[in-house]
Structure 1
Amino acid sequence: MAGWRIDAPTRRAPGSVDLADAARLCAEDPVGSVLAAARIEAALAGRARRGGPQLWGVERGGELVAVAWAGANLVPVVRPGDEQALDVLAETALNHGRRCSSIVGPAEAVLGVWQRIEPHWGPAREVRADQPSMVIDGPPARDPDPQVRLGTPADLPALMPACVAMFTEEVGYSPLEGSPGSYEARVRGLVDEGRSYVRMAHGPSGPEVLFKAELGAVSSAVAQVQGVWVPPEHRSSGLATAGMAAVVGHALATVAPRVSLYVNDYNAPALRVYRKVGFRQVGTYATVLF
């Protein structure tokens, strides 16, 4: 993993971002920074993939004041109101060129960086500027579905198509376009790591998924739920509410002291489900999709 430490507003010679400092910065907003914190903690534990993602840092007066994880997604972590740090991260992004499929994270940081680089990286395919960031840190308010369990490799023949359907519905194109192997590896990896939840049923042509969700990012402080999906023909049946209650209960007991997620502001059915379970909004995310 390569790193740069940058002194705002002037870039220093390339060096190493102190991962412990970066983790402490993320801890100031554990829910907002979980996407970056999960990767930084993995790097601290020696689990980061070499030669791929980079961690950029902005230093002022000897203090690390902002970071950005630059991999398949660009994930900025910036204290509110720090326009100078946004300037430096935007300059760094421009110098490296666009290699990511999205910019995602707390809305102020994402939209601040995007405003600065849009003339060079734009146009975006879509900008989702208002995505409520929600969290729960106590027992779910609804009864959990007892049939929701951790996924196993045996579920993959049915789970993989469900994951592809969810991704396509959410993002607008199939994740199998371009490099299908990497998406399949991601789904398998989540199953192998015990971060995939499913409710299965026996359908006319074999096993089928009635509910699924994943812990897409896990730090020591937060487990972020992603990929929540129920087949269209089974929606409005309570499967999502009870399924999410099961996910929350298991994750709080075994993974992290908080469970978070972010959701598009226009997805009223999903917002209703999450509020029924007991999630509350604590911030706003934004996503710029390319």
Structure 2
Amino acid sequence: MVTTRQGVRLLGPGDVDAFLDLARRDPVANVFAMYRARTTRLEPRWLGGEAWGRFHDGELVAACHVGANLVPIESREEDARAFGERALARGRSVSTIVGPTEAVREFWRTVSDSWGRPRDLRWNQPHLVIDGPPTAAPDPGVRRTMRAELDELYPACVAMYTEEVGVSPEVGGRNDLYRTRVAQLVSRGWSFARFDAGRLVFKAEVACATDDAAQIQGVWVPPDRRGEGLAVAGMAAVVELVRAEIAPRVSLYVNEWNEPARRAYARVGFQETTTFSTIMF
């Protein structure tokens, strides 16, 4: 396949091993990219987009996942600029740019004049990891959710998403798609919750996972139950369950202004390793 003057080309199934070798340089920060490569084999029809690679002397030195989310992988500033130039020629199709701050910032500098005004820019999102037992007592009531509980779980997922992202996942009639996504996480055993008298009072999901790490998303407690320690005990339980049955390291990233969540994660034993940034359209 012909490369561009910047050494960037489309990746495909023949590049999966090289892509995974690249992502393994930081298997926790790159867990999303590794999960997507393993489940799609970098086939555009399964990716719902493309994967790009940047090469130097025939070696893959950086990559970029371009689906609903654009995610730079092991990208230095010059790599992010090269991916940005390719993105300018292609036009914006993504709804989110997310990844390590330096790469996201340089990519955005390259495309910002042409890609339009984003809905939100979140430059400082601490990336947190725990690779041992939680330092808080786990809630014994937290467990995997079941399909029969979807009618209670789904509204909580919509509420969390709307609160976190600022727009409902059901906008534009996408409720069937989002409900299917929630149901898939339940079926996979990646959805965890605590119920009190049938009411959900804590939830969290695994967004993606490999043999090295699992990334948590969707941590939520109903507003009227906040301040009771449900998030601390709930996340401690999720960490125990995930480390025992899914992956040895657990990660997530959090908005810098969300002090209650950051305090809760610190009490569970999460440690900051790097900084992510997210740009949303």
- Matched to 2:211, the amino acid is S
Partner of 2:27: 30
Written as runs of structure 1 = structure 2, the 5 A alignment for 1:1-290 is 6=3, 9-11=6-8, 16=12, 18-44=15-41, 50=46, 52-79=48-75, 82-178=76-172, 179-202=174-197, 207-290=198-281
State the alpha-carbon separation in 2 of the partners of residues 176 and 122 from structure 1. Answer: 23
1:19-70 deviation line (CA, Å, top 9, x unaligned): 11111111101222122111012134x9985372211111111110111111
Post-superposition offset of 1:5: 7.5
State the alpha-carbon separation in 1 of the partners of residues 247 and 268 from structure 2. Answer: 17
Post-superposition offset of 1:121: 0.6
Given that 2:48 and 2:68 are in contact with CA atoms closer than 8 Å, whether structure 1 keeps it comes out as no
Give the gaps of 5 or more residues in structure 2.
none
Distance of aligned partners of 1:49 and 1:153 in 2 relative to their CA distance in 1, 3 Å threshold? farther
Q: Is the deviation greater in 136-145 or in 82-91?
A: 82-91
Give the root-mean-square deviation of aligned CA atoms. 1.9
- Matched to 1:63, the amino acid is E
Post-superposition offset of 1:83: 2.6
What is the TM-score normalised by the length of structure 1? 0.91
Given that 2:160 and 2:218 are in contact with CA atoms closer than 8 Å, whether structure 1 keeps it comes out as yes
Distance of aligned partners of 1:51 and 1:264 in 2 relative to their CA distance in 1, 3 Å threshold? closer
What is the TM-score normalised by the length of structure 2? 0.94
Post-superposition offset of 1:8: 5.7
Given that 2:124 and 2:275 are in contact with CA atoms closer than 8 Å, whether structure 1 keeps it comes out as yes
Given that 1:131 and 1:286 are in contact with CA atoms closer than 8 Å, whether structure 2 keeps it comes out as yes
Report SS of the residue matched to 2:46: coil
1:55-96 deviation line (CA, Å, top 9, x unaligned): 1111111110111111111111134xx332112210121222
Distance of aligned partners of 1:7 and 1:49 in 2 relative to their CA distance in 1, 3 Å threshold? closer
Post-superposition offset of 1:15: 6.0
Distance of aligned partners of 1:8 and 1:66 in 2 relative to their CA distance in 1, 3 Å threshold? farther
Given that 1:134 and 1:260 are in contact with CA atoms closer than 8 Å, whether structure 2 keeps it comes out as yes
Given that 2:40 and 2:47 are in contact with CA atoms closer than 8 Å, whether structure 1 keeps it comes out as no
Distance of aligned partners of 1:238 and 1:185 in 2 relative to their CA distance in 1, 3 Å threshold? same
Distance of aligned partners of 1:236 and 1:11 in 2 relative to their CA distance in 1, 3 Å threshold? closer
State the alpha-carbon separation in 1 of the partners of residues 188 and 119 from structure 2. Answer: 32
State the alpha-carbon separation in 2 of the partners of residues 36 and 155 from structure 1. Answer: 30
State the alpha-carbon separation in 2 of the partners of residues 38 and 287 from structure 1. Answer: 19
* Shift >6 Å, 4+ stretches: none
Distance of aligned partners of 1:95 and 1:217 in 2 relative to their CA distance in 1, 3 Å threshold? same
1:127-160 deviation line (CA, Å, top 9, x unaligned): 1000000000000001110110001101100100
